[in-house]
Amino acid sequence: MATQADSPPAALAERLWQVRALSEAIAAPLSDADATVQPMPDASPAKWHLAHTTWFFEAFVLRDHVPGHRPWDERWAYLFNSYYEGEGERHPRPRRGMLSRPGLAEILAWRAHVDTALTESFPHLPEAALGLVELGLNHEQQHQELMLMDIQAAFAENPLHPALWPATAAAPAALAPAMDWAEGSTGLVEIGHDGRGFAFDCEAPRHRVLLHPHALADRLVTNAEWRAFIDDGGYSRPELWMADGWAWAAENRIEAPLYWLKAEEGWNRFGLDGVRPLAPAEPVCHISWYEADAYARWACARLPREEEWEAAATAFDAASGTQLDRAGAARPRPAPGRGLRQMFGDVWEWTVSAYAAYPGFRPREGAVGEYNGKFMCNQFVLRGGSCATPRGHLRASYRNFFYPHQRWMFAGLRLARDL
């Protein structure tokens, strides 16, 4: 991750207000009860996300770099620390939904207090502290997407299926053109962050990898194509599945992507804009690695390796595609045109690559060094961002990671094959 700020203090202060305002705009339609509920242990209440990102700035910037700063409430560090062992004991993650107090209004008041203190301190912050502000902004953008994932998971538990952001029904899009293939680079290529601008520590160091002849699908897999997988018995054919995935699907009675709802007239899907008819041309979303891998095998293909994906993505603008620009319905969109596309936005793309350290990886010193490195075990890498990723947050070297059974995030797939 960056060790210094990539923007002058005035620009960084402006970004602070923009990022912090977006978090509050996402939460604006929520009642205190909406913001407190926790739908499952992997998710967190929206109120907790608002508080945790504030704790991050108060602990690592104001407490450590602003002489005389006094915390809003010293007891809240125990409530809103996430996994930083170096910061001491913390409230158990599966019980965050039990925190009815402090209320949403109190947390918003705390946020305003911390934002003011940060802005006033900017002219006097040392370079190391400015780097932590930049880290904190990128950290909060990650939590904006997490907050949307978790709100959707919470609302999905309500039989009324409420919408966070009511939206008008989109006109049905034409079916996507037949999938084509784009031949990828071969030989030695460099991947990883090049040192320009901000990056998380897991994106570095830049290093060389060997690419064998391969091709990437020119677009993402669609809902219509996933329905064909279902209709062909994809969820009931053990030869398509990894053993762990088959056991997981059987134990949890998995028969379709998360948030797909079977109706008399066909399939609907539940999203942040409520229940809508399943759009055949939109990218399939909310699938686990197990499901993505089984589909790829059914399609006589495989999932991409992360280095194959990155080598192709460097030719694209990371700010392109369907990403989160403001508070409003986040949903994947069909792929326009032809040629390699949808490299950024719409849905995170599962890869076959295990989340592991690059050669020469070194985490940062101190508590912030716990940010990524200690999770490099039993998870897979996803690339490219989603419709819920704030625009401007991504780059070709960006590595997301989840466990293979998880699917409440905005995750889909692109196929690959060997040549």
At which of 139, 156, 173 does a domain end? 156
Q: If you ran DSSP here, which 8-state letter would residue 131 be given?
A: H
Residue 341: inside a domain: yes
Domain assignment present for 172: no
| Of residues 46, 45, 284, 330, the one with CA closest to residue 165 | 330
Assigned domain for 26 exists? yes
227, 332: one domain:
yes
138 and 80 within one domain: yes
Amino acid code (one letter) for 40: M
- The verdict on residue 4 lying in a domain is no
Same domain, 272 and 335: yes
Domain annotation covers residue 174: no
Give the chain's domain count. Answer: 2
Query: Do 404 and 245 meet the contact criterion of CB atoms below 8 Å apart?
Result: yes
CATH number of the domain bearing residue 390: 3.90.1580.10
SS3 (DSSP) at 390? strand
In a domain, 73, yes or no: yes
Looking at residue 23, which CATH number applies to its domain? 1.20.120
* Residue partners of 219: CB distance under 8 A and separation at least 6: 176, 177, 179, 335, 341, 342, 414
**Tokens 């692109």, residue located:** 414
147 and 266 share a domain?
no
| Residue partners of 112: CB distance under 8 A and separation at least 6 | none
Each of the 419 residues of the chain gets a pLDDT tens digit; together they read: 444 455 667 888 899 999 999 999 999 999 999 999 999 999 999 999 999 999 999 999 999 999 999 999 999 999 999 888 888 899 999 999 999 999 999 999 999 999 999 999 998 899 999 999 999 999 999 999 999 999 999 999 999 999 999 876 666 667 778 899 999 999 999 999 999 999 999 999 999 999 999 999 999 999 999 999 999 999 999 999 999 999 999 999 999 999 999 988 889 999 999 999 999 999 999 999 999 999 999 999 999 999 999 999 999 999 999 999 988 878 999 988 899 999 999 999 999 999 999 999 987 776 666 567 788 899 999 999 999 999 999 999 999 999 999 999 999 999 999 99
Residues 269 and 335 in one domain: yes
Q: Do 148 and 237 belong to one domain?
A: no
How do strand 348-354 and strand 274-277 relate by DSSP bridges?
Answer: unpaired
Give, in order, the Cα–Cα distances in Å from 304 to each of 70, 108, 178: 49, 42, 19
Q: Are residues 64 and 23 in the same domain?
A: yes
Contact (CB, 8 A) for 419 and 183: yes
Q: Is residue 322 included in any domain, yes or no?
A: yes
CB 287 within 8 A of CB 230: no
| Owning domain of residue 124 | 9-156
**Does residue 163 lie within any of the structural domains?**
no
Within 13 A of 128's CA, how many CA atoms are on the CB side? Answer: 10
Q: Is 285 found in the same domain as 412? A: yes
